[in-house]
Amino acid sequence: MHTVTLGPSGTYSHRAAGAVATDDEIEFRESIRDIVDAVADGDAARGVVPIENSIEGSVTETLDALAERDVAVVREVITPIKHGLLAQSEEFDTVASHPQALAQCREYLDEHYPDASIEAVASTARGVELAGEDPSVAGIGHPDNATGDLKVIAADIQDRRSNATRFFVLAPPAARSDAGGKSSFVVYPGANYPGLLLELLEPFADRGVNLTRVESRPSGEHLGDYLFHLDVDGGLFEERTQAALAEVEEIAENGWVRKLGSYDVEHVV
Ligand SMILES: O=C(O)C(=O)C[C@]1(C(=O)O)C=C[C@@H](O)C=C1
């Protein structure tokens, strides 16, 4: 079975997927939700999705899909993101890319192309594809995608030198593991009272388990109702992580806790 990730060929997700699969094992999907669904439904052995960027923050589509579908996180892949501006010539009036990439280059675009129209498309590679078909369009994406008539008009255009994205490698629930240096959970407390969030975090602090990310997302039930995504520096094989989680499960007894799994981190270029 295949590994699915965001297409077409040449996305940053595709590059990250190279850490877990060879090119002939990779299949492309048009949206993050399609990738999570393919893994949850057993149509793919692995899925690779972006979760967080150092400039733009969380990829909310991923967070929401992970809260809704039962999949395991089995690895984290971190890759540097160095964007190029790719076009047939400097005579373009539209810049097309994935919303995350456009946001990561916002200051550059405001300074150098203040009059350009901005077009959000499904992935960076899709924006570059449009630039290849239409001389009035430039795409933002990895410079290796400058093939055919496309040139790299500018390199390293992200607003910070160190731009990096974390990706999760997803697998069907049966592949969930307690082994690994990090773990991720989604908690829906099903309650709202003063100090609730503090209560949810204290079990980790009490045992010296470092929290590496806390993110709240609307539950979708009603305004002001949230679920929380937690990443911790600790594996579920560790007694301290299990004990902290057991306390969290008690606090969330009117809601639910999803263990996404424990995993190791890999840096790839
Ligand atoms: O469009 C792509 O190339 C993707 O793989 C998506 C994505 C993202 O959603 O964050 C991945 C890495 C970069 O941060 C920009 C875009």
Residue 75 sits at φ, ψ, to 5 deg, of -165, 155
Q: Which alpha helices (DSSP H) does the chain contain, by range?
A: 12-17, 32-40, 60-68, 99-104, 106-112, 124-133, 196-206, 239-251
Assess whether 67 and 91 both reside in one domain. Answer: no
Question: Taking all residues of the chain, what is their mean pLDDT, rounded to a whole number?
Answer: 97
Q: Residue 11: CB within 6 Å of ligand 1?
A: yes
Which of 51, 124, 129 is the pocket-test mutation for ligand 1 (most atoms within 8 Å of CB)?
A: 124
Long-range contacts (CB closer than 8 Å, 24 or more residues apart) made by 108-117: 108/154, 108/157, 108/158, 108/159, 112/154, 116/92, 117/93
Residue 9 sits at φ, ψ, to 5 deg, of -50, 140
Per the structure, the complete domain to which residue 26 belongs is given by 3-81+163-174
Token digits for 217? 């997302």
SS3 assignment, position 231: strand
* Mean pLDDT, range 81-86, rounded to an integer: 98
Assess whether 170 and 47 both reside in one domain. Answer: yes
Assess whether 141 and 105 both reside in one domain. Answer: yes
Which residue lies with its CA nearest to atom 15 of ligand 1? 101
Assess whether 150 and 170 both reside in one domain. Answer: no
Assess whether 170 and 77 both reside in one domain. Answer: yes
SS3 assignment, position 121: coil
User: What pLDDT score was predicted for residue 269?
Assistant: 79
Q: pLDDT grade, residue 13 (50/70/90)?
A: very high
* Ligand 1 atom at minimum distance from 122 CA: 1
Q: Residue 165: CB within 6 Å of ligand 1?
A: yes
Assess whether 94 and 73 both reside in one domain. Answer: no
Domains held by the chain: number:
3
Q: Residue 3: CB within 6 Å of ligand 1?
A: no
Q: Residue 98: CB within 6 Å of ligand 1?
A: yes
User: What pLDDT score was predicted for residue 168?
Assistant: 98
- Indicate whether 13 belongs to any domain: yes
Assess whether 149 and 191 both reside in one domain. Answer: no
Q: Please give the C-alpha separations between residue 161 and each of 105, 111, 113, 121, 166, in angstroms, as whole numbers.
A: 11, 16, 20, 24, 16
DSSP state of 145: G
**Ligand 1 centroid to residue 113 C-alpha, Å:** 22
User: What pLDDT score was predicted for residue 30?
Assistant: 94
**Ligand 1 centroid to residue 11 C-alpha, Å:** 7
Nearest one of 163, 81, 155, 51 to 112, comparing CA atoms: 155
Q: Residue 140: CB within 6 Å of ligand 1?
A: no
Assess whether 48 and 27 both reside in one domain. Answer: yes
CATH number at 32 reads 3.40.190.10
Assess whether 63 and 119 both reside in one domain. Answer: no
Residue 84 has pLDDT above 80, yes or no: yes
Q: How many CA within 13 A on the CB side of residue 165?
A: 25
Residue 130 has pLDDT above 90, yes or no: yes
* Mean pLDDT, range 105-126, rounded to an integer: 97
* Mean pLDDT, range 207-213, rounded to an integer: 97
* Mean pLDDT, range 79-86, rounded to an integer: 97
- Indicate whether 22 belongs to any domain: yes
Which residue lies with its CA nearest to atom 12 of ligand 1? 12
Token digits for 152? 């790299």
Percent of the chain exceeding pLDDT 90 equals: 97
Q: Residue 183: CB within 6 Å of ligand 1?
A: no
Residue 1 has pLDDT above 80, yes or no: no
* Mean pLDDT, range 158-186, rounded to an integer: 96
**Ligand 1 centroid to residue 197 C-alpha, Å:** 30
Assess whether 72 and 90 both reside in one domain. Answer: no
